[in-house]
Structure 1
Amino acid sequence: MSAGRDDRRDEERKPGPGGAAGTPQQEVSGTGPDGLPERLPGPEWVVSEAGATSSFVKPFLYALGRIRENEQLTPAQYADRAKQLMIDRLGMSAELPVAAFAHGAIGIMTDHTTYFDGFALLLHLRQGLSVAVRKTDRDESRFVSEAVEDVESFDLHDERPGRSIGSLFTSVTRHAGLVGEHQIDIALIGALPPGVGVAYYSTLVTAALRAVHVLEGRTVDDREIRRQASDALEQWLGRPVSPAYLIAAEAMDEAPFLLVDTKTGERLSLDVPPSERPGWAIVDTRSGDLPPTESVLERRRKSVRALQDVKEKLFPNLESLRDLAHRDLDRAVAAVPRRSRSVLRYLISENRNVQQLVVSIRRRDWQYFGGVMMISQAAKQNDWSTATAGIRSVVELADRHGLEGIHGAVQTGESGSILILGRPFSLPAFLDDVKEASTGDTNREITTFIV
C-alpha cells in the first residue's frame, strides 16, 4: 500500500466504476500482496434486490480505492525513476546518473532513543526514497524533486550552516569523502512524507550516501553508511538523532515491523502475514517536520541529569537508563529530585512499552497495541511536552472512533505527524473526518496518508 497523499474530498466517497449500480462483479480469486482481495465478491453480494450498490459495499469500495490509489514500486523501479527524473528535468550529460534506494521506517515507539540507548519499534515500509546523482562541470550543483517544480541551485562546497537541502547534501558529500572540486546534480523521488521528521531525513541521507559511494565506485558496508549518515545529520541539524531510524533505513526486507537495539546496533524483523496485518495511516498536522533544536538539546540535558540523579540517590553503578528495570521505576521516581521525575517516568516507560508492543505483534492483538500507543501519547503530552494542540485534537478524535475500528494514535518523530492504527477499511473514512474536524488548531491544512 502506498503512502500517497490522501487529498480526496467527500464527493469521492462514491464507488469506482466497478461498484456502479447493477455492474456485475467477479468472484473472489485470492488476495494480493497487501492482503486485500484481488477481485471483489460476486453480484449477489454487491447488488441489492433493488439493483443498487448496497450500503455495506460502498464504503468497502471507497476504502479499497483509497488504499490502492498509488502504484507500488520496487527499489529498482524507484532508482530508474530517479534517474529518469534527472534527465527529464536537468537534461542529458556526458556523465550518466547512478541511483540508490532506502526503505522508509516510521517510529512507533522510537523517539526516546534520541536521549538514551534503549530499544525502539518502527513500522517498516515498502515505500521509500531514491536519490540519483551525477557529476557535472557546471559551477553549481542542482537539486530536483518530483514533488517540486523548481530547480534548486547551490554550491556544494559552501559549508556555511543552514537547514536548506543544499546544506544537507553538502554535509552528506563531505562525510562521504566525495573527491574533487566538481559539483553534482541530484534527483529525488519517493513516497515518504517529509512530515515524519527525522525518519524522512534518515532515509534520504542513507539513500544519498549509497548513491554517492556508487558514484565514486566504492563498496561501503551498512555500519559505515550509518556512521556517516549520523555524522551528516547531526552536523546539519545541530543536535543528536536517534540511531534507530538509521539502523532501520539499512533494512531491505519487507517485514512490517523492526525491533532495534540502539546500544548494539542490532535489528530484528518481525513479520506478520499480509492477511493479519492492521492498517496504518499518517496525519500530518503541518505544525513542523522537525522539533526545535534547542528543545531537543534541553531534553537531552534533562535525560543526562536524570541518570546522574538516579546514580547519586539509588543505583551508583547504573551506566545507562536502559539498565533501570521497570520494577524499580517507582523507587527511582520517589528518590530523585522533582526535576527528574517526569523524565524518568517517560523514558523508562517508553522503553517498557516497546516490549509490550512486541508481545502484541506476536499475539496479533492490535487493539492492545493501539492501547499502548494511546498510553504513550498521554505520556508525551503530560511528561514530555511535545504534543501540540493540533496533535491533541487528532488523538482525541481517534479515541472517539474506537468503535469504528480505530485502535490507537501516537505522535512520531517529535514532529507534527501522528501515526494511526486501525482496521484497513476504517482508515479512509476516519481520515476524512480528521480533515473535516480540523479547525484553527493548525496554521495550514492537515494532510493525510495511508501507508
Structure 2
Amino acid sequence: MGFQETYGREPDGVWHAPGRVNLIGEHTDYNDGFVLPFALRQGVTVAAARRDDGVFELRSLQSRSAAEVTDPTPGSVDGWAAYAAGVVWSLREAGYQVGGASLLIDADLPQGAGLSSSAALECAVAVALCDLYGIEVPRPELARIAQRAENDFVGMPCGIMDQSASLLCTEDHALFLDCRSGLSAQAPLDLTGLTLLVIDTRAEHELVDGGYADRRTACEKAAELLGVPALRDVTDLAEALSRLGDPVLRRRTQHVVTENHRVEATVGLLRAGAVGEVGALLTASHLSLRDQFEVSWPEADVAVEESVRAGARGARMVGGGFGGSVIALVPTARAERVREAVTEAYAGRGWAEPRFLEATPSAGARRLR
C-alpha cells in the first residue's frame, strides 16, 4: 500500500534517513567522548504531505498501525509513533513552528537489531517536516532536536551519536564525532578487499526498559566522585581507578576511558589506509564491553568468537547492548566461511538462526524526490 492508496493523494516528497553501525566507541557518547559511526544503506523512508488542519497522521507499513496527533506532549503517544510525534514536539520546543502532515513510514532495517531504527525514524521525520515547511536547521542542531525527542518525549536517555550519524555521515566514510563539542570530521573507510559483516544475533535489542540507564547513571556517579565533568576528562586512568572504591564503578570507568583511546587509534588507522589493522581494536572493544561494561549477551559473545576463529580480522557487539548485532571485519574471501561458522554455532546451541547484512558506508538523511 502506497501513499496514494493510504491518503488519496500523492505525497509532497519522500525522504530517507539511514540506520547506523558504530565502528567503535560504545557508551562513550553520553560521557562526552568520541564515537566513530557510519551510515547504512538501509534505514527509514517517509512519504509525507502537508495538511492544514494541524493534525499529524502517522502510519507505518511495518506495524500496520496508525496514530493521529494534534498537540503532542511527553507521555501522550505510545509505541513507535512516539519517536515521530516527539520530533514534532521537539521542533516546536526549539522554536520551529511546523503544521500538520500526513506521513507514511517504511523501513528496511531489522527491528531490535541495534542498528538505530529509532533515530532513523526521528531523522527521517525531522528532515521531512523541515522541507515541507521551509524550515532551515543546521544538521548538528537538527541532531540535537531529534535527540531531545528521544530523551524527553520517549524517555530514552541516549547520547547524540545515533542522530548525528543519521544526519551527518557521508558515503565511504565514518563520522569521527566529538560528542561534547559537536564537532565532527569524516574519516575514510576504504573497504577494498574487506567486508563489514553485520550479524543480527536475533536477541532483541531493547534499551528503554533495559540496563542502559543504569550504566549511564553509574558513569555519572563515577565522574562526580572523581571531580570531573564526565569520564572523558579522566587523564590518569590508574590514579582514577585507585580513587574509586566501588568495583562496578571502576569497571565502568575503565571501559569508557580505554574505549575513547580505541576510537582515536582507529581514526589514525583509517586515515593511514590501514583498515585491516582495525580488527584487533574491535575485538578489544568487545572484550571491554563484555567484561568491564557488562552489556554483552551470549549470542554476541559466540558470534565474536566464531567470527574471529573463522578468519575475521576482529569483531565486536554494536549498540547499547543487551541484545542486537555484532559487526565483524572480514577479508571478503572469508566472509562466507564466517557466516557458516556463526550459523553452525547457533544451531548447535538451539538458538534462532542469525541474519547477516553487508554494511556499506553510505550517505546521511536526504530527500529522495
Letter in 1 for 2:180: K
Per the alignment, do residues 104 and 335 of structure 1 end up closer, same or farther by CA in structure 2, a change over 3 Å counting? same
CA offset digits 1:383-433 (Å, max 9, x no partner): 11111111111111112113xxx1111111124211111112322332233
TM-score by length of 1: 0.70
Letter in 2 for 1:156: V
Does the 8 A contact of 1:106 with 1:196 survive in 2?
A: no
Counterpart of 2:207 in structure 1 is: 291
Query: Which of residues 318, 321, 334 in structure 1 aligns to 2:231?
Result: 321
Alpha-carbon separation, structure 2, partners of 1:319 and 1:440: 47
Deviation at 1:257, TM superposition (A): 1.6
1:155 aligns with 2:64: no
Query: Which of residues 293, 299, 302 in structure 2 aligns to 1:384?
Result: 293
CA offset digits 1:344-368 (Å, max 9, x no partner): 1111011111112122223433443
Alpha-carbon separation, structure 1, partners of 2:78 and 2:201: 21
Alpha-carbon separation, structure 2, partners of 1:97 and 1:233: 26
Per the alignment, do residues 411 and 214 of structure 1 end up closer, same or farther by CA in structure 2, a change over 3 Å counting? same
Counterpart of 1:67 in structure 2 is: none
Larger Rg: 1
* Structure 2, unaligned runs of 5 or more: 360-369
Deviation at 1:338, TM superposition (A): 2.9
Counterpart of 1:333 in structure 2 is: 241
Secondary structure, aligned partner of 1:450? strand
Taking only aligned residues, the RMSD between alpha carbons, in angstroms, comes to 2.8
* Structure 1, unaligned runs of 5 or more: 1-83, 312-317
1:276-425 to 2 correspondences below 5 Å: 276=192, 278-293=194-209, 295-311=211-227, 318-325=228-235, 328-339=236-247, 340-402=249-311, 406-415=312-321, 416-425=324-333
1:71-86 to 2 correspondences below 5 Å: 85-86=2-3
Deviation at 1:439, TM superposition (A): 3.8
Deviation at 1:259, TM superposition (A): 0.8
1:238 aligns with 2:155: yes
Deviation at 1:125, TM superposition (A): 3.4
Per the alignment, do residues 198 and 417 of structure 1 end up closer, same or farther by CA in structure 2, a change over 3 Å counting? closer
- More strand per residue: 2
Whose RCO is larger (CA < 8 A, sep 6+)? Answer: 2
Per the alignment, do residues 277 and 360 of structure 1 end up closer, same or farther by CA in structure 2, a change over 3 Å counting? farther
Does the 8 A contact of 2:188 with 2:271 survive in 1?
A: no
Per the alignment, do residues 439 and 280 of structure 1 end up closer, same or farther by CA in structure 2, a change over 3 Å counting? same
CA offset digits 1:373-392 (Å, max 9, x no partner): 11111111111111111111
Deviation at 1:152, TM superposition (A): 1.4
Alpha-carbon separation, structure 2, partners of 1:370 and 1:290: 27
Alpha-carbon separation, structure 1, partners of 2:265 and 2:142: 31
TM-score by length of 2: 0.84
Secondary structure, aligned partner of 2:334? helix
Letter in 2 for 1:232: A
Letter in 1 for 2:31: F
Alpha-carbon separation, structure 1, partners of 2:56 and 2:138: 30
The alignment covers a number of residue pairs equal to 349
Secondary structure, aligned partner of 1:369? helix
Query: Which of residues 126, 138, 149 in structure 2 aligns to 1:209?
Result: 126
Letter in 1 for 2:329: L
Counterpart of 1:28 in structure 2 is: none
Letter in 1 for 2:281: V
1:220 aligns with 2:137: yes
Per the alignment, do residues 345 and 255 of structure 1 end up closer, same or farther by CA in structure 2, a change over 3 Å counting? same
1:109-148 to 2 correspondences below 5 Å: 109-135=24-50, 141-145=57-61, 148=62
Alpha-carbon separation, structure 1, partners of 2:270 and 2:160: 23
Alpha-carbon separation, structure 2, partners of 1:440 and 1:163: 39
Deviation at 1:139, TM superposition (A): 8.2
Alpha-carbon separation, structure 2, partners of 1:269 and 1:306: 31
Counterpart of 2:364 in structure 1 is: none
Deviation at 1:238, TM superposition (A): 1.4
Query: Which of residues 146, 164, 171 in structure 2 aligns to 1:247?
Result: 164
- More helix per residue: 1
Letter in 2 for 1:436: E
CA offset digits 1:138-189 (Å, max 9, x no partner): 98824133xx3x6312222465456512222221222233655x56232324
Q: Identity over aligned residues, as a percent?
A: 22
Does the 8 A contact of 1:345 with 1:383 survive in 2?
A: yes
Counterpart of 2:366 in structure 1 is: none
Alpha-carbon separation, structure 2, partners of 1:388 and 1:125: 24
1:173-188 to 2 correspondences below 5 Å: 173-177=88-92, 179=98, 182=100, 184-188=102-106
Counterpart of 1:260 in structure 2 is: 177
